[in-house]
Every structure is written in C-alpha cells, then in structure tokens.
Structure 1
Amino acid sequence: MLNRLSLRLRIFLFFCLLAFGALTVSSLALWISYRRVADPDLLDSFIFAEILMGFGFLALTAAVWLLFDDNVAKPIERISAQLRARAHAGVSTELDTQAARYLGDLAPAAAGLADQLSGKTMDVAQAVAEETAHLAAEKHRLTALLTEIPVAMLLASPTHKIVLYDGQAAEVLAQVAHPRLNASLFEYLQSNPLEEAHARLVKTGLEVACTLTSVDGTQSYRARMKPLGGAPGYMLIFEDSAANIAPEAARPLVYDFDLLNTSTDEAFENLALQDLCFVVFDTETTGLLPHKDEIVQIGAVRVVNGRIVDGEQLDMLVDPGIPIPPASTKVHKISDRMVQGAPGIADAGRALHQFARDAVIVAHNAPFDMAFLRRHAKHMDVDWDHPILDTVLLSAVLFGASDKHTLDALCERLEITIPDQLRHTALGDAVATAEALVRMLPMLQARGMTTFGLVVEATRQHGRLLEDLN
C-alpha cells in the first residue's frame, strides 16, 4: 500500500507518526507523574502542561517536516523526474544540482552518470539518425512513385482497420470523413459489400473484384481486394478514383504497419499505452467562461503507436455567433472578420467528434476545453463519452504536484519549442501538447503505468490541481 504513495506523502506520514508518538509518550509520562503525585488539585496544571507540550511538539514537527520537504523530498522528486526525462524522453537539460545541494553527493553523482550515459548513446543516436534519414528518403521516393499511379490504394487489417493509405486514397476517404490510421473502414464504406468481398478473399486466397458504396450512399466505387501474401490483412484498390482525383494533389503516404497485428477488443482501462490512439486537441475562445463564451478555433492531431501521424490533423476556424472581444483577439489573433463564413460550433464539433472516434481525447487542462464542447453536445447531436487524459495531471504524476504545470513550463522541461507565431493558436498548442504526450508516454511506462487504467488511477490523485487551475 505504501509503495503506491508518493515519496513526499510517505515522508509526511512519517512525520505525522513522529508527532503522534511524541504526544503519546508525553501524555503517558504526565499521566504516570500525576498518579504518583496523587494530588487532584494538580490535574489542571498537568493538563495545561500537556497542551503546551502538544502544541510545541506539533509546531516543531511541522517546522522540521517543512524543512525536510523543501530540502530533501522535493529535490529527490525533481531529480528523479529529470533523470527519467533524460532516460525515456530524450531530454538533455542539465540536472538541477543547486536545488539538491543538501543531498550531499547524490545530485553530482546522478548528473555525472547521466552525462556519461548520454555521451555513450551519442554514437547510437547518430547511427539511428542516419538510418532514419535513409528510410525517410526511401519513403519519399515511394510516395513520389505512388503519386504517379492514378489509383487509390490502402491497406487494412483483418478487422478492417486502416493501416496505410496513399494520397489518392486519402482523397477518397475524405469524401466521407477525415482519413485516419486505425479507423474502421466501416466509418467510410458500407459494411455488407466489404465483408462479403473479404469473406471471398479469405476463402479463395485470390484477388476479389467488388463494388463498394460510401456509408452515406452517395458514392460508389469499383474496387479490387488483394491478399498481402503471408501478412494479415488486405490491400484495397479503388480503380475509378482517378476520374475525380488529381494525382498531383496527393498527400504523403501515411502508414503504421504495427497496426496489422493490433487487437483492440479489450476495454480501454486494460489496453497498453502503446495500443491506444490519442487525439490531442486545443481550442481558442472568446473568453475564459465556458458557460457563456464560445469557441473560435479548434486544432487537433492524432497520435498512433506513440508517434504523431503526419497529415492527420484538424485546423478549423469556428463562427462563435457572438462578437470576439478585442482582448481575446489580442491573444489568439482571431478577429470577427476571420470567422465570417466559418462553420458553427455544431458542425465543427461533429467534425472533431468524428476525428476522435475510438480514441482517447487529450488536452492541457481538459475540463476547460471539454466544457465548451459538452455545453453544445445537443446541438452537435453527439455524446462526448470518450476516455480523457489531461497533460496537466500527467505532468503532476511525473514531475510532482509542487512544480509548475503550465503548457510553457511542461514544454520547457521536455525541451519542446513552440514557435512564437504558433503559440496561442489551437493547432500550434495542440501539436506542442501532442509532443509532450509522446515524450511522457515512455516515462509513464518506466514508472510501471503501462495501461490506460493505471495512468488514470495515478492522475486522480492530483485532481485538485485542475480545480485550482479553473
């Protein structure tokens, strides 16, 4: 049980035990002394003496605990978080040895070990960087090649989840909804023709020609479904997509082959962090009162298998239906003129809801942003019942509740740079929050919080932070 408590809380309980023990011993000593004196007239004096001693013990214990907390417990917690950030999040900032000056040689020794390990990993990092650059070049060539092929192609897992899509396929999917890795094809295409074609593919092991229809019934596609050899899943080729889509307008190839072997039948609480999809979003608003102000911009990005998916993002201006105060425009640079003709909150909210389908929603100070969305849930005709993570609470879990947990402070700790022109824009802040999440996920796993349920349980201990923040 105690192992689940933070270091600072365990130390606080230790000092509470010392105070209780001191009060017990002093009370027992005065009681024995009073019984030996056997003078009832002295009872009030003994009680008064115990009260004085009790307040004295409590004050002394509290003073010593505060000194110990500031000079020992907090520095240990801070050094632990910084070491974990260096080990698992790729952070290279210097350890704060000055804050841990009362810990003897612990901080310098930890800093020396960290520097030595960092030096030894430089060669490995350089080799990885070179190989990554090579793979990026290969991907660029593959993307260029596929762009010249006037058909739309995607790969799907055996459960019909999207594993890869090329530029033309992105345009086909976008006719129905925003294309997303790990999204079900049933969100875009009617299920019966797709399942029938897949059943024939599995039975024969040969290519199957089929006609597919969009879920809204407005589009029809001639397609071919091909097996992937020994790999699970299949390739889906839309043969007549070239008639409506220009190859030169194609988006880059988007893929994650690990999704071929991912099963998400378990409840969210039991899923491993690396198996989750996250949608990280942020909003800009007309003011800071969710019960009366309105959203003017929504930005969101998707994180799949621990990485931000290039090209899968939302960046929408929203017509708030009310004037934008000049003070708010000064912060986010969005004026009344800019939102003219933009979708209202109902349409924008539905787009975000679809984009975040089957994903964990992540935000920095999520209660604030979610309050705006939930107030308009009836107009959107959606239920905001997604699992939610708050990076304020994740920061508190990893770096201690006593630290600052603003987005700027978190980004500084994790060496994330937000360009000035993107700060206080919905997409810019969403990308920064997503980068922070990606760096914190391995740190959480290193702390033993490997499933979504364990992470949520840890964040609940710091819920008061959000109450104070809001």
Structure 2
Amino acid sequence: MFSLRTRVFLFFCLMAASGMAILWGALWLGVSRNPDDLQGAMVLAGISGSFALVAITAAVWLLFDEIVVKPIQRLAASMRTRAHTGVEVEVDTHSARFLGDLAPAVHAVSKRISDSAMDTARAVASETARLAEEKARLTALLTEIPVATVLANAANQIVLYDGQAAEVLAQGGVPRLNAPLFDYFDEQSLRAGLGRMHKTGMDQRFKLQGLEQGLEFDAVLKPLDAGGYMLLIEGETLRTAPDATRPLVYDFELLSHQPTGDLASTPLRSLVYTVFDTETTGLLPHKDEIVQIGAVRIVNGRMVAGEEINQLVNPGIPIPASTTQVHGISDRMVADAPDIVRAAGRFHHFARGSVIVAHNAPFDMAFLRRHAERCQLTWDHPILDTVLLSAVLFGASETHTLDALCARLGIEIPAKHRHTALGDAIATADALVKMLPMLEGHGMRTFGDVIEETRRHGRLLQDLN
C-alpha cells in the first residue's frame, strides 16, 4: 500500500504526464494534418490541445473530489457530530481509504472522545437521577395543594407551571414555557394586580380574568427577591389531581431571560422553536388538504416534555386509500375532528413568539398559507428548515431526507411513529437539538448567521418540491 504522500506525488505525476501527452499529441495532430502550413498546424494543435486539457482537468477534478474532498467532508462531519452531540457515528473508513492513515487516526480520536464522554455521562446520569427524585417529590407535594402555581419572570413570561396550572392555562391554549401570561389571561386585570404588587412590594389578592367571557379566577401575586413573581390560582375546581402526563414543567434559566427584539442577533440557544409536521391527503399543496398536525417546542436547547400538539384535522375531502396506506389516517378517523380553521388557529397560538421549524418547511407551510385568509391568520413567523441545516453541516451532495439525517445523528424513529405528524415532528426536533451545538461549532451562533448560510442551499428545496 502506498503512503498518502506517495499517492499525492503519483497524482501530480499523472497530471504532468497527461499534460505532456496532450501537448505532444496536439502538436503531432497539427503537423500531420497541415504538414506544409506551420501556422495552421499550430492553430490546430492549440485548439485540440485546449479542449483536451479542459477535458483532462475536469476528469482530474471529479476524481479528486470523489477520493479526497468528499471523504474529508464526511470525516469532518462525523468528527463534529461526535464532538458536539456525543453520538457514536461510525467513521466511514472505506470512502476515505485513499487518504492513508487519516481515517484510522480520526477513528482513534473519536473513540477516545467517546470513552471520555461515557465517563462524564455516568457522573451526569447519577446527578440527574438525584435531581429527578427531588423533582418527583416536589411535584407530589404541589399535587396535594389545591392551588395552581405559575412562576413568571420580569417580562411576564412563564418560567414554571405545575399540573393544576396546566389545566388552567389549557383553557386559553396549550401551556408553553416562555410564553407571555397575556396569552392566557386578560392583560388589563393581570397588569392591575401587578401594578399594586410592584407599588407595595407585598402579596396581592385579586380577581384574574380569563380570555373567554365570564372566566374568572381567585388569584394571588407574590413578588420574588430574585426578580419575577409567582401567580397562585385558587378554587375548588383545582382539587382534582392533575393528569399524570402533566408533571411540573420549568426552566429556571428563563428567570433572567430578557427578549432582545433583534431576531438576527439572537443566539441560537436563546430562541424558542416550534417544530412541526403535517400529514396530508396528497402531495399537492394547491389542492390537497391537511389531515394531521403534530408539533413540539424547544426552549433553551431542549425539548419541553408535555408541550405538544397531536391533532387530527377533518380535510373536508375524501382521503385517498393510497395515502391512508402511508400515514394510516382514514376518513372515519377524521369524521369528528376539527376543520383546518380551528386546527390551524390552535397551532398558530402554540407557535406564537417562536421560530417555526420543519423538514422541507415550504411544503408544510404551503398548506397552512393557502388557508390563511379563511383562518384569519398571518404566518409571519421566522422559519428554519432542517433540510438546509443538514446541507450546511454535512454537505449539499449528501442525502437530506429525514431518515438519512436521523441516521447520521443516531436518532431512531420507531416504525409505528414514522409518517405520523407528531412522530416526525419529534424526530425533527431531536435532530435540531443535536444540530444546534454543531452549528455553533461551525461559527454560526446567531439566527442571522444561520439564515445567511442556509440561503446558499435554497436550490435543494426547489429540487425537493
């Protein structure tokens, strides 16, 4: 086996030999065709030699791209995946076989990183288990108290809510961390209570109005020394134990969160993402309809358990049998489901104040935007597409289907959840969570940085659609 230096040397020898062969061959061709016309012979030799040089250069470039550039890109992508996500991606040593000892060296370094990460992970897992036990005790304690508890920061955004509070918030929409309380309660009544609390610095008992007419709660505001406040909602209706799928939900980092107002300069991890997917009656957004919407939320770089939408939608038209075979949704299943107006409105509220994320976003958004006027909704959310993020991180020449992206990132989609709106949304969200640190590792730390880079790969979406 030749060493890498020898291979490169032989590669350039081949280029030199090819150039010389083309030069002498062109001269011979020119002289043999025009033995009595030296000028004509030189012109013919120059033209034929130029075409031959262009051809050999193109061939050499294709060969170099295939055996050097692409393998290096794959090695770099696998290294970044391991470094930033902890996923044990298999190093493709076969495609990098012409790069000498580089691939085995990358494999050795990656293995050392993985071994070190495993030791750290064990320590983190032990501490996580302890914190989870404490959280379970706190959740059980709050369950016994017939008071709905919400913690908000100085910007009136939700930092914590318990199971009882989730039931109250659900009357105004799906509960969401980092969402303004004014999305769930009447702003005037809440600001009046807050004004008295800030003025006196003491607890304030008041009547809190809901968004629906006639909805009213007995509430208490408690100021916090660290900033922000607690909102306690009392009432006999809260004595029922909360749903088991609604544990205590919180992120204390949001206590110090202050909206910047400038989206382009906002760090990627500071953004709230709503990741969604749809299932439809077909693949033509101008005439087919949505039959299911699935969505989850990512706050501070992690998916928030319990904050999701899994909504069947009545399309108003028959679902073709061939489409039912793909996603398993039949006419009978959607007969009593809400129409697109109600379903889109619920999703629009769920995605308020966030970046919408989807895999091949133009396809899914086209269905929603077609009904925007009918739904009286404006889809002006900033949007990220994981197809383009995959191209930025792994190279445009790779395959960028959801299955291929998940395989590269070590994400497993259970077969029963594939081609369901929520299942695909969760897989896309898992992929986004893993790609965020990789993007930062590439120097793209703000939303503006990512948008500028993804614009270079817009042609991928045109080809997909």
Q: Normalising by structure 1, what TM-score?
A: 0.89
Give the equivalent residue in structure 2 for 1:161: 157
Q: SS state of the match for residue 311, structure 1?
A: strand
Give the equivalent residue in structure 2 for 1:8: none
Q: Deviations for 1:69-102, whole angstroms, at most 9, x for unmatched residues?
A: 1111111111111011001112112211111111
Aligned with 1:445 (options 440, 446, 460):
440
Q: Whole-Å Cα distance in 1 between the matches of residues 65 and 242 of structure 2?
A: 62
Give the equivalent residue in structure 2 for 1:124: 120
Give the equivalent residue in structure 1 for 2:414: 419
* Contact 2:205 2:221 (C-alpha < 8 Å) held by counterparts: yes
Aligned with 1:403 (options 398, 406, 409):
398
Compute the displacement of 1:248 (Å).
4.1
Give the equivalent residue in structure 2 for 1:221: 217
Q: Deviations for 1:202-238, whole angstroms, at most 9, x for unmatched residues?
A: 2322111122112333311121110122x11000001
* Contact 1:167 1:253 (C-alpha < 8 Å) held by counterparts: yes
Structure 2 unaligned regions, length at least 5: 1-11, 28-35
Compute the displacement of 1:243 (Å).
2.3
Q: Whole-Å Cα distance in 2 between the matches of residues 392 and 195 of structure 1?
A: 43
AA partner of residue 119 (structure 1) = D
Compute the displacement of 1:121 (Å).
2.5
Structure 1 residues 171, 428: CA separation in 2 closer, same or farther (over 3 Å shift)?
same
Give the equivalent residue in structure 2 for 1:284: 279
* Contact 1:363 1:391 (C-alpha < 8 Å) held by counterparts: yes
What is the count of residue pairs matched by the alignment?
439
Give the equivalent residue in structure 2 for 1:3: none
Work out the percentage of aligned pairs sharing the same amino acid. Answer: 60
Give the equivalent residue in structure 2 for 1:114: 110
Give the equivalent residue in structure 1 for 2:338: 343
Aligned with 2:268 (options 251, 270, 273):
273
Aligned with 2:68 (options 40, 60, 72):
72
Give the equivalent residue in structure 1 for 2:3: none
Decide which moves more: 114-123 or 246-255: 246-255
Q: Deviations for 1:126-161, whole angstroms, at most 9, x for unmatched residues?
A: 010111111111111111111111111100010100
Give the equivalent residue in structure 2 for 1:325: 320
Q: Whole-Å Cα distance in 1 between the matches of residues 345 and 44 of structure 2?
A: 68
Q: Whole-Å Cα distance in 2 between the matches of residues 94 and 172 of structure 1?
A: 47
Write out aligned runs for 1:257-406 (5 A): 257-406=252-401
1:243 aligns with 2:237: yes
Q: Normalising by structure 2, what TM-score?
A: 0.90
Structure 1 residues 71, 217: CA separation in 2 closer, same or farther (over 3 Å shift)?
same
* Contact 2:271 2:300 (C-alpha < 8 Å) held by counterparts: yes
Write out aligned runs for 1:22-37 (5 A): none
Q: SS state of the match for residue 438, structure 1?
A: helix
Q: SS state of the match for residue 270, structure 1?
A: coil
Q: Whole-Å Cα distance in 2 between the matches of residues 120 and 284 of structure 1?
A: 42
Q: Whole-Å Cα distance in 2 between the matches of residues 248 and 297 of structure 1?
A: 27
Structure 1 residues 207, 218: CA separation in 2 closer, same or farther (over 3 Å shift)?
same
Q: SS state of the match for residue 357, structure 1?
A: coil
1:48 aligns with 2:80: no
Compute the displacement of 1:270 (Å).
1.1
Q: SS state of the match for residue 332, structure 2?
A: coil
Give the equivalent residue in structure 2 for 1:93: 89
Q: Whole-Å Cα distance in 2 between the matches of residues 461 and 311 of structure 1?
A: 36
Decide which moves more: 218-227 or 304-313: 218-227
Compute the displacement of 1:45 (Å).
4.0
Q: Deviations for 1:261-283, whole angstroms, at most 9, x for unmatched residues?
A: 11123321111011100000000
AA partner of residue 124 (structure 2) = V
Give the equivalent residue in structure 2 for 1:4: none
Write out aligned runs for 1:170-189 (5 A): 170-189=166-185
Q: SS state of the match for residue 122, structure 2?
A: helix
AA partner of residue 427 (structure 1) = L
Cα-Cα RMSD: 2.3
* Contact 2:267 2:446 (C-alpha < 8 Å) held by counterparts: yes
Q: Deviations for 1:137-187, whole angstroms, at most 9, x for unmatched residues?
A: 111111111111111110001010011101111111111111100101111
Q: Whole-Å Cα distance in 2 between the matches of residues 181 and 334 of structure 1?
A: 31
Give the equivalent residue in structure 2 for 1:5: none
Compute the displacement of 1:417 (Å).
0.9
Q: Whole-Å Cα distance in 2 between the matches of residues 391 and 319 of structure 1?
A: 28
* Contact 2:164 2:238 (C-alpha < 8 Å) held by counterparts: no
Q: SS state of the match for residue 462, structure 1?
A: helix
Structure 1 unaligned regions, length at least 5: 1-14, 31-39
* Contact 2:222 2:230 (C-alpha < 8 Å) held by counterparts: yes
Compute the displacement of 1:246 (Å).
1.8
